[in-house]
Structure 1
Amino acid sequence: MPEPAQNGVAGHDDASSTHHDTEAEDQDQDHHDSHDDHAAGSSDAQEPPRKRQRVRLSCLECRRRKLSCSRELPCDRCIKSGTADRCTYEPRPGSVSGPVSERSSFAPAAPMVSFDLDSRHPNHNPLRRSVDASLLRESARDHDRVRRLELEVAQLKAALAKQASLDGSTVVASPLTHKETRPEEPSEPVAPIIPDNPDGLEFKFVRGHNFKARYFGPHNAWDSVIQLNGLQLFMRQTADQWLRPLNIQKKDRDKRRNDRMKRFMEPGLDLEALLPPRDETDSLISIYLDQFEQIHRIVHVPTFKKQYASFWDPARTRSAAMTVLVLAMISVSVCLDMTVSNKFVGVKSSSFQRAAKWVKACDNWHANQSHKHRMLIHYQIACMLYMAKRVNIIKKKRFWSTTGVLVRDGIITGLHQDPEHMSVQVSPFYQEMRRRLWATMVEFDVQSSVDQGVPTLMSQVYNDADAPRNIDDDQFDENTEELPESNPDDKYTLSSYQHLSRRSLPLRLELTRILTMSRGALDWEQALRYTELLTQEIDALPAWDIDTEPAPNSIHKPILAHTLLHLQLKQFFIPLLQPFIKLRENHSKFQIAEFLYYNTARDIVIAHDKLFQRGIRSLNFLREDTMNAAVNLCTVSLRQPKDNSSWIMSNAQETISLIEKCIAMKEDRILRCGHNDPWGYSSMCAALGLLETHLGTKPMEQAKASAAERFISLHYRLVTNQQSPITNPQMSHGTPGSTVGADSAGRVGAYMNHVKQSDVTPYTVQQQQQQQNNGMSLGNTPYLRDGMPISTPWLLPSGDTSQVLPNPDFSLEGLGTDLIDLWPDWAESSAPFS
Structure 2
Amino acid sequence: MAESESTTNMPAASDDGHDGNDDNDSEPARKRQRIRLSCLECRRRKLSCSRELPCDRCLKSGTPDRCSYESKPGGPTTTAASLAGEKTSFSPVAPLVSFGAGSDNARRPSGNHPPARREADNSLLKDAARDHERIRKLELEVAQLRTTLSKQSSVDGSTIAASPSTIKDVAKETHVVTSCASFIPETAHGYRGNSFRSRYYGPYNAWSALQELTGIHPFMRETADEWLRPLNIQKKDRAKRQEDRDKKFAEPDPFLESILPSKDETDSLIAVYLDQFEQLHRIVHIPTFKKEYAAFWDPSHERCASFTALVLSMIAVSCCMDMQASNKFVGIKSSSFQTAEKWTTACVEWHGRQSQKHRRLVHYQIACLLYLAKKVNIIKKKRFWTTAGSMIREAITIGLHQDPDHAGKRISPYNAEMRRRLWATMVEFDVQASHNQGVPTLLSQVYNDTDAPGNLDDESFDESSTELPISRPRLEYTFSSYAHLSRQSLPLRLELNKLLTGPPVDLEWEQVLQYSDMITQEIDALPEWDLEMEENSEMSHKPILAHTLLHVQLRQYLIPLHQPYLKLRKYHSKYQTAEFVYYSAARDLVMMHDRLFQKGIRALYFLREDSLRAAMNLCNVSLHQPKGTIVPVSSQYAANRPAASTGLIMSNAQETLGLIEKCIMIMEDRILRCGNNDPWGYSSMCAAYGLLETHLGIKILDNAKAKAAERFISLHYKLLAYQIPPFPTQQTQSDLATSQPNPDAISGPSSVSPFAMQLGATPLHREGPPLSMPWLLPTDTTQLLVPNPDVNFGMLDSDLTDLWGDWGGDFT
Structure 2 residue 34 is matched with structure 1 residue 78: no
Structure 2 residue 635 is matched with structure 1 residue 635: no
Partners of 1:467 and 1:218 lie apart in 2 by 24
C-alpha deviation, 1:471, in angstroms: 1.0
**Which has the higher mean CA deviation after the structures are superposed, 322-331 or 550-559?**
550-559
Partners of 2:312 and 2:325 lie apart in 1 by 23
Q: 1:94 to 1:482 in 2, by over 3 A?
A: closer
Q: 1:110 to 1:60 in 2, by over 3 A?
A: farther
Q: Is the CA contact 2:534–2:541 (under 8 Å) kept in the aligned structure 1? A: no
Q: Is the CA contact 2:277–2:603 (under 8 Å) kept in the aligned structure 1? A: yes
Q: Is the CA contact 1:775–1:797 (under 8 Å) kept in the aligned structure 2? A: no
Structure 2 residue 774 is matched with structure 1 residue 805: no
Report 1:109-124 matches (<5 A): 109-110=164-165, 112=167
Q: 1:234 to 1:285 in 2, by over 3 A?
A: same
Partners of 1:412 and 1:321 lie apart in 2 by 21
What amino acid maps onto 2:458 in structure 1? Answer: D
Structure 2 residue 485 is matched with structure 1 residue 505: no
In structure 2, the partner of 1:321 is 306
Q: 1:661 to 1:295 in 2, by over 3 A?
A: same
CA distances 1:649-672 after superposition (whole Å, capped 9, x unpaired): 111111111111110110110111
Q: 1:369 to 1:108 in 2, by over 3 A?
A: closer
Q: Is the CA contact 1:91–1:97 (under 8 Å) kept in the aligned structure 2? A: no
Partners of 2:294 and 2:283 lie apart in 1 by 18
Q: 1:194 to 1:802 in 2, by over 3 A?
A: closer
C-alpha deviation, 1:336, in angstroms: 0.5
In structure 2, the partner of 1:18 is none
In structure 2, the partner of 1:713 is 714
In structure 2, the partner of 1:366 is 351
SS at match of 1:91: helix
Partners of 2:792 and 2:177 lie apart in 1 by 78
In structure 1, the partner of 2:792 is 815
Identity of counterpart residues, as a percentage? 57
SS at match of 1:488: coil
C-alpha deviation, 1:479, in angstroms: 1.0
What amino acid maps onto 1:318 in structure 2? Answer: R
C-alpha deviation, 1:284, in angstroms: 0.1
Structure 2 residue 748 is matched with structure 1 residue 693: no
SS at match of 2:617: helix
Report 1:303-318 matches (<5 A): 303-318=288-303
Q: Is the CA contact 2:678–2:811 (under 8 Å) kept in the aligned structure 1? A: no
What amino acid maps onto 2:138 in structure 1? Answer: P
CA distances 1:291-349 after superposition (whole Å, capped 9, x unpaired): 00111000000010000000000001000000000000000000011227621111110
Aligned pair count reads: 658
Structure 2 residue 145 is matched with structure 1 residue 98: yes
Q: 1:447 aligns with which of 423, 428, 432?
A: 432
Report 1:737-748 matches (<5 A): none
Q: Is the CA contact 1:710–1:805 (under 8 Å) kept in the aligned structure 2? A: no
In structure 1, the partner of 2:667 is 666
CA distances 1:379-436 after superposition (whole Å, capped 9, x unpaired): 1000000000000000000000000011111111111111111232210111111111
Q: Is the CA contact 2:600–2:747 (under 8 Å) kept in the aligned structure 1? A: no
Report 1:20-419 matches (<5 A): 71-75=51-55, 78-79=58-59, 81-84=61-64, 87=67, 89=79, 90-92=137-139, 95=142, 97-98=144-145, 102-105=149-152, 106-110=161-165, 112=167, 201-339=186-324, 342-419=327-404
What amino acid maps onto 2:792 in structure 1? Answer: L
Partners of 2:479 and 2:405 lie apart in 1 by 22
SS at match of 1:363: helix
C-alpha deviation, 1:777, in angstroms: 4.5
Q: Is the CA contact 2:477–2:529 (under 8 Å) kept in the aligned structure 1? A: yes
Structure 2 residue 748 is matched with structure 1 residue 779: yes
Partners of 1:360 and 1:718 lie apart in 2 by 25
Partners of 2:807 and 2:465 lie apart in 1 by 57
What is the CA RMSD across the aligned residues, in angstroms?
A: 3.5
Q: Is the CA contact 1:331–1:359 (under 8 Å) kept in the aligned structure 2? A: yes
Unaligned runs of 5+ in 2: 1-34, 68-77, 80-136, 153-160, 630-644, 765-777, 781-785
Q: Is the CA contact 1:774–1:799 (under 8 Å) kept in the aligned structure 2? A: no
SS at match of 1:255: helix
C-alpha deviation, 1:623, in angstroms: 0.2
Partners of 2:804 and 2:402 lie apart in 1 by 47
C-alpha deviation, 1:108, in angstroms: 4.4
Q: 1:518 to 1:581 in 2, by over 3 A?
A: farther
Q: 1:413 to 1:822 in 2, by over 3 A?
A: farther
Greater relative CO (CA pairs within 8 A, separation 6+): 1
What amino acid maps onto 1:249 in structure 2? Answer: Q
Q: 1:485 to 1:94 in 2, by over 3 A?
A: closer
C-alpha deviation, 1:517, in angstroms: 2.5
Partners of 2:339 and 2:593 lie apart in 1 by 27
Q: Is the CA contact 1:297–1:440 (under 8 Å) kept in the aligned structure 2? A: yes
Partners of 2:361 and 2:570 lie apart in 1 by 56
Q: Is the CA contact 2:389–2:430 (under 8 Å) kept in the aligned structure 1? A: yes
Q: Is the CA contact 1:86–1:101 (under 8 Å) kept in the aligned structure 2? A: no
With normalisation by structure 1, the TM-score equals 0.73
SS at match of 1:541: coil
Q: Is the CA contact 2:562–2:578 (under 8 Å) kept in the aligned structure 1? A: yes
What amino acid maps onto 2:702 in structure 1? Answer: E
CA distances 1:697-721 after superposition (whole Å, capped 9, x unpaired): 1111111111111111110111111
SS at match of 2:483: helix
In structure 1, the partner of 2:767 is none
Report 1:555-594 matches (<5 A): 555-594=540-579
C-alpha deviation, 1:77, in angstroms: 5.8
Q: Is the CA contact 1:215–1:412 (under 8 Å) kept in the aligned structure 2? A: yes
With normalisation by structure 2, the TM-score equals 0.75
In structure 1, the partner of 2:4 is none
CA distances 1:259-290 after superposition (whole Å, capped 9, x unpaired): 10000000111101111110000000000000
C-alpha deviation, 1:236, in angstroms: 2.6
Partners of 1:102 and 1:709 lie apart in 2 by 56
Q: 1:486 to 1:284 in 2, by over 3 A?
A: same
Q: Is the CA contact 1:57–1:71 (under 8 Å) kept in the aligned structure 2? A: no
What amino acid maps onto 2:721 in structure 1? Answer: T
Partners of 2:196 and 2:462 lie apart in 1 by 16
What amino acid maps onto 1:320 in structure 2? Answer: A
Q: 1:192 to 1:580 in 2, by over 3 A?
A: closer
Q: 1:553 to 1:245 in 2, by over 3 A?
A: same
C-alpha deviation, 1:100, in angstroms: 6.3
Q: 1:270 to 1:359 in 2, by over 3 A?
A: same
What amino acid maps onto 1:561 in structure 2? Answer: A
Partners of 2:300 and 2:590 lie apart in 1 by 50
**Which has the higher mean CA deviation after the structures are superposed, 504-513 or 102-111?**
102-111
SS at match of 1:666: helix
Partners of 2:584 and 2:45 lie apart in 1 by 48
Q: 1:81 to 1:591 in 2, by over 3 A?
A: closer
What amino acid maps onto 1:682 in structure 2? Answer: S
Partners of 2:553 and 2:673 lie apart in 1 by 25
Partners of 1:472 and 1:600 lie apart in 2 by 32
Q: 2:416 aligns with which of 410, 413, 431?
A: 431
Unaligned runs of 5+ in 1: 1-55, 114-138, 152-187, 725-748, 758-764, 781-793
Q: Is the CA contact 1:212–1:374 (under 8 Å) kept in the aligned structure 2? A: yes
Partners of 1:99 and 1:324 lie apart in 2 by 51
In structure 1, the partner of 2:472 is 487
C-alpha deviation, 1:511, in angstroms: 0.4
